[in-house]
Amino acid sequence: MKKSVYINSVGSVSAQKTFDDGFLENIEQRSDTVLAVVAPNYKDYIPPAAARRMAKGIKMSTVSAKNAMQGAGVDENEIDAIIVGTGLGCIGDSEKFVSDIIDNNEQFLTPTRFIQSSHNTVAGQIALGIGCKGYNFTYVHSAVSFESAVLDAKMQLEQNEARTILVGGVDELVDHHVSTHRLIGHIKEEPVDTMSVLKSGTSGAVFSEGAHFFVLSNQKRTSCYAELMALKTFNTLSPGQLGDNVGNFLKEQGLTEKAIDLIVLGYNGDVEFDGYYDILAKGPFSETPQAYFKHLSGEFDTASGFGFWVANKILKHQRIPDPVKLNDLHRVTFETVLIYNQYRGENHSLMLLKKC
Amino acid sequence: MGKGVAITGMGIISAIGNNVAENFTSLTSNKIGISKISQIDTIHKDDIMVGEIGETNTQLEQRLDIAENQWSRTVLIGTVAAQEALAEAGISDINEVRTGFISGTTVGGMDKSEQYFYDYPENPSVRQHITGLHAGDSTNKIAKHLGLKESFVTTISTACSSSANTIMLGARMIQSGQLDRVIVGGTDSLSKFTINGFKTLMILSDTYNTPFDNDRKGLNLGEAAAYLVLESDAMVEKNKKNVLGYVKGYGNANDAFHQTASSENGDGAVLAMEKALQVAGMKPEDIDYINAHGTATPNNDLSEGRALIRVFDKKVPHFSSTKAFTGHTLAAAGAVEAVYSVLALQNDTIFPNLNFKTPMQEFGICPVTELKKKKLGTVLSNSFGFGGNCSTLIFSKEA
């Protein structure tokens, strides 16, 4: 008998002020092509001496993970496993180590940057910080890094291999990565206003960063945000196959498109690839309340962690904040939420959440 | 007690051979793959030894019919190994049933990223490597080349246990009925990034690595790719598949001791081995041979040796590290040694731990140093990585 999986808490550090208890009451409106996170006061979470040596990704994750654990009211020793998704890990340190190798002709190097370059640094550091000797995995698969982590956690909780798992997604915004991705047109050439991202009419995305952590458990706590019903990822999907695959995904849960109370879509304002979202928004879900989020979070490999955060918050608070509304349709109660994301036509994901 | 997950195909390319058969020949004829580095121009070339794959990128591109300088070496060798695994499993239509692909890597396309790091603004002809810095990009490229569509594809990066962890995830996904079959394993090419990184940690040997020897001086970095095909019982039955062995047990734990070093008593390693035994429904005495992580660093071999003594008490089974042959192939190591573990089972053969002379002063256990014939029903394989990551796999002849 499979156990149910609950999202008992959320934690976020993003380009919006999401590290406190609010829910997008005051939006950071910017006009740019890249967005850094609204940084919490790291000193409130990390001793300053330790923070100085830490990569930004570790710092953001520490805050986000601590907030999630606190939100669920779980003690550190209750965490059975830590599973993290990250497209690039602590890429700032990787890039610095590479440039140091080249600039200094492979001499005078120190190990810290190399050590922090390991993709599993965040998961390892959290384990070290809370003394968690349990299962510790890191997924690094572009836009489905976070989803892979959630899927792994879901499998373990369903089989009762673990009872409480800390799951997260994190990525950093750093200079070389930005400058090279500008060269290949993955970042927008012209700045775009936060609330006008979908009207940009241009290719590329607004790049950003963030850390999103969640406590998942097969026991529902009073803090519960949502129940995780299903999750599926696809390495490729042609536009013609998207609708059928979404239909089949819902059918496996005994649902139809009509049963979805809200669809959360990963629109990032890239005219070349937003068509995927249009297929659902203007097709089978045209009569469904719709939300989007990357105009607020920016685009990064684990941006779907922000989408997951938004969906969880909506289910808990039973309201859709105005800045994420894509249409004016409403439901009296929000029972089921579907999240669909893809990046540049690859690595598609579907996540289905239910009110708990 | 859980039933094992069937292995129906294997593929490998390493410093000791371009396919499974060549690797087996090398392992049974003491042909090691450690040499001076030839394909990367590093200032450390005279003070390190590596396990380098013989073929150049150009040769690999020609073999795979890939245009010049489009792919990282990590992708090239990964594709070679994955294709061999699929061929051995007799899979021609990869999309016929629910097939997944899970790959482990640490460097991904770093070999190209470091080569062209400052060239991208001026040189548009190398910009195809910009997205190669994403570890997942190597996996995507291999999946695409294999023709896999609309499927579960992901990448695990837990340093040197990465591909051991892909085998674990793959087995769990088969057991939970989410996939009918899955290609699991990993790929890592040599790069200046890892050479210099391990150099700063001062754990590179300037000569042939000597696992579990009292006077060991550190590891030799290596490069390799290895993949295995895992299939559900229903698939094996339906297609009358030849089963090479089974993934019987698995366990992952965290040492939670230090970002790069293992704890003195191998807490994480003990937990990983105990979990794997539990999943397999086995007792320590059921293990016939251990393919140790055995990197030949002072820290690993002491920690792992102590962990073996703790788990197996005074009856530590025959064990050896094959890293004297291949070097430490980082993310690929777990899958490389999974292939070797299955070869050991198939041939009732324990591969020797070469270059061992003096037992470690801290304990009395010694590895098997010569090729040994022994009836093997089970093999346990360890893989440990940065971030305290400890993984154990158990392979068996019978389900």
Instruction: Quote the minimal CA–CA distance from B156 to chain A in Å.
Output: 5
**Closest CB from A97, A180, A241 relative to B193:** A97
pLDDT class for B1, splitting at 50, 70, 90?
Answer: very low
- Give the pLDDT of residue B95: 98
Q: Specify the pairing of strand A135-139 against strand A81-85.
A: parallel
Instruction: Quote the minimal CA–CA distance from A183 to chain B in Å.
Output: 7
pLDDT, average across residues B320-330? 98
**Closest CB from A82, A128, A141 relative to B259:** A128
**Nearest C-alpha neighbor of B327 from the set B214, B188, B142, B166:** B188
Residue A132 contacts B where some CB pair is shorter than 8 Å: yes
**Closest CB from A102, A120, A346 relative to B159:** A120
Give the C-alpha separation, B65 to A291, whole Å: 45
Residue A119 contacts B where some CB pair is shorter than 8 Å: yes
In A, minimum Cα distance to B44 occurs at A106
Q: Which of the residues A235, A244, A300, A346 would you substitute to probe the B interface, choosing the one with the greatest number of B C-beta atoms within 10 Å?
A: A235
* Dihedral angle sign, alpha carbons of residues B320, B326, B327, B331: negative
pLDDT, average across residues B371-382? 98
On whether the CB atoms of residues B380 and B392 are closer than 8 A, the answer is: yes
B258 is annotated as an active-site residue: no
Instruction: Quote the minimal CA–CA distance from A19 to chain B in Å.
Output: 26
Among the options B134, B258, B318, B328, which is catalytic? B328
Q: Which residues of B touch A179 (CB under 8 A)?
A: 121
Q: Does the domain spanning A6-217 belong to CATH 3.40.47.10?
A: yes
Residue A77 contacts B where some CB pair is shorter than 8 Å: no
- Give yes or no for residue A137 having a pLDDT over 50: yes
On whether the CB atoms of residues A198 and A277 are closer than 8 A, the answer is: no
DSSP string of B135-163, one letter each residue: HHHHHHHHHHHHT--SS-EEEE-BTBTHH
On whether the CB atoms of residues A114 and B387 are closer than 8 A, the answer is: no
Burial zone of A189 (CB within 10 Å; 0-12 exposed, 13-18 middle, 19+ buried): exposed
Secondary structure (H, E, C), B4-54 = CEEEEEEEEEECCECCHHHHHHHHCCCCCCEECCCCCCCCCCCCCCEECCC
Instruction: Quote the minimal CA–CA distance from A321 to chain B in Å.
Output: 33
Query: What's the DSSP call for residue A43?
Result: G
Would the CB atoms of B134 and A87 count as touching at under 8 Å? yes
Residue B265 contacts A where some CB pair is shorter than 8 Å: no
pLDDT class for A50, splitting at 50, 70, 90?
Answer: confident
What are the beta bridge partners of residue B396? B246, B378
Question: In percent, how much of chain A has pLDDT > 90?
Answer: 98
> Which residues have CB under 8 Å from A296's CB, separation 6+?
A14, A15, A16, A24, A27, A28, A194, A306, A323, A324
Residue-wise pLDDT tens digits, B18-72: 999 999 999 999 999 999 999 999 999 999 999 999 999 999 999 999 999 999 9
- Helix or strand (DSSP H, E) at B301: helix B298-312
**Closest CB from A106, A133, A159 relative to B42:** A106
- Give yes or no for residue A52 having a pLDDT over 90: no
> Which residues have CB under 8 Å from B369's CB, separation 6+?
B320, B352, B353, B354, B356
**Nearest C-alpha neighbor of B1 from the set B175, B174, B164, B163:** B175
CA geometry: angle B26, B28, B29, nearest 5 deg: 65
- Give yes or no for residue A9 having a pLDDT over 90: yes
In A, minimum Cα distance to B255 occurs at A133
Q: Which residues of B touch A114 (CB under 8 A)?
A: 193, 196-197, 200-201
Would the CB atoms of B386 and A123 count as touching at under 8 Å? no
- Give the pLDDT of residue B75: 98
Give the C-alpha separation, B229 to B94, whole Å: 11
Joined together, the tokens standing for residue B98 give: 């629910």
Would the CB atoms of B388 and A127 count as touching at under 8 Å? yes
In A, minimum Cα distance to B197 occurs at A114
Give the C-alpha separation, A15 to A296, whole Å: 7
The residue with tokens 């191998």 is B266
B328 is annotated as an active-site residue: yes
Domains A6-217 and A228-355 fall in the same CATH topology = yes
A residues 259-318 closer than 8 Å to B (CB):
301
For residue B309, how many C-alpha atoms fall within 13 Å in the half-sphere facing its CB?
15
Query: What's the DSSP call for residue A108?
Result: S
Give the C-alpha separation, A192 to A200, whole Å: 7
For residue B92, how many C-alpha atoms fall within 13 Å in the half-sphere facing its CB?
1
Q: How many residues does chain B have?
A: 399
Would the CB atoms of B153 and A235 count as touching at under 8 Å? yes
In A, minimum Cα distance to B130 occurs at A180
Instruction: Quote the minimal CA–CA distance from B89 to chain A in Å.
Output: 22
Domains of chain B: 5-238 (3.40.47.10), 247-396 (3.40.47.10)
Residue-wise pLDDT tens digits, B159-208: 999 999 999 999 999 999 999 999 999 999 999 999 999 999 999 999 99
Mean pLDDT of all residues belonging to chain A: 97
Residue B2 contacts A where some CB pair is shorter than 8 Å: no
Joined together, the tokens standing for residue A283 give: 């097709």
Would the CB atoms of A183 and B151 count as touching at under 8 Å? no
Give the C-alpha separation, B76 to B79, whole Å: 5
- Give the pLDDT of residue B2: 65
pLDDT class for B3, splitting at 50, 70, 90?
Answer: confident
B293 is annotated as an active-site residue: yes
The residue with tokens 């890939």 is B66
- Give the pLDDT of residue B158: 97
**Closest CB from B158, B271, B386 relative to A133:** B271
pLDDT, average across residues B386-398? 97
pLDDT class for B363, splitting at 50, 70, 90?
Answer: very high
Residue B261 contacts A where some CB pair is shorter than 8 Å: no
- Give the pLDDT of residue A1: 82
B residues 13-72 closer than 8 Å to A (CB):
42-44
pLDDT, average across residues B287-301? 98
Residue B196 contacts A where some CB pair is shorter than 8 Å: yes
pLDDT, average across residues A178-191? 98
* Dihedral angle sign, alpha carbons of residues B336, B338, B340, B343: negative
On whether the CB atoms of residues A152 and B169 are closer than 8 A, the answer is: yes
Torsions phi, psi for A123 (to 5 deg): -60, -40
Residue A183 contacts B where some CB pair is shorter than 8 Å: yes
What was the ipTM of the complex prediction?
0.98
Instruction: Quote the minimal CA–CA distance from A159 to chain B in Å.
Output: 9
Chains A & B: contacts with CB separation below 8 Å: 200
The amino acid that residue A27 corresponds to is: I
Residue-wise pLDDT tens digits, A240-279: 999 999 999 999 999 999 999 999 999 999 999 999 999 9
- Give the pLDDT of residue B260: 87
Among the options B129, B134, B293, B318, which is catalytic? B293
Would the CB atoms of B254 and A346 count as touching at under 8 Å? no
Q: Which residues of A touch B165 (CB under 8 A)?
A: 137
In CATH terms, the fold of domain A228-355 is Peroxisomal Thiolase; Chain A, domain 1 (3.40.47)
Where exactly are the structural domains of chain A?
6-217, 228-355
On whether the CB atoms of residues B320 and B291 are closer than 8 A, the answer is: yes
Among the options B134, B145, B160, B366, which is catalytic? B160
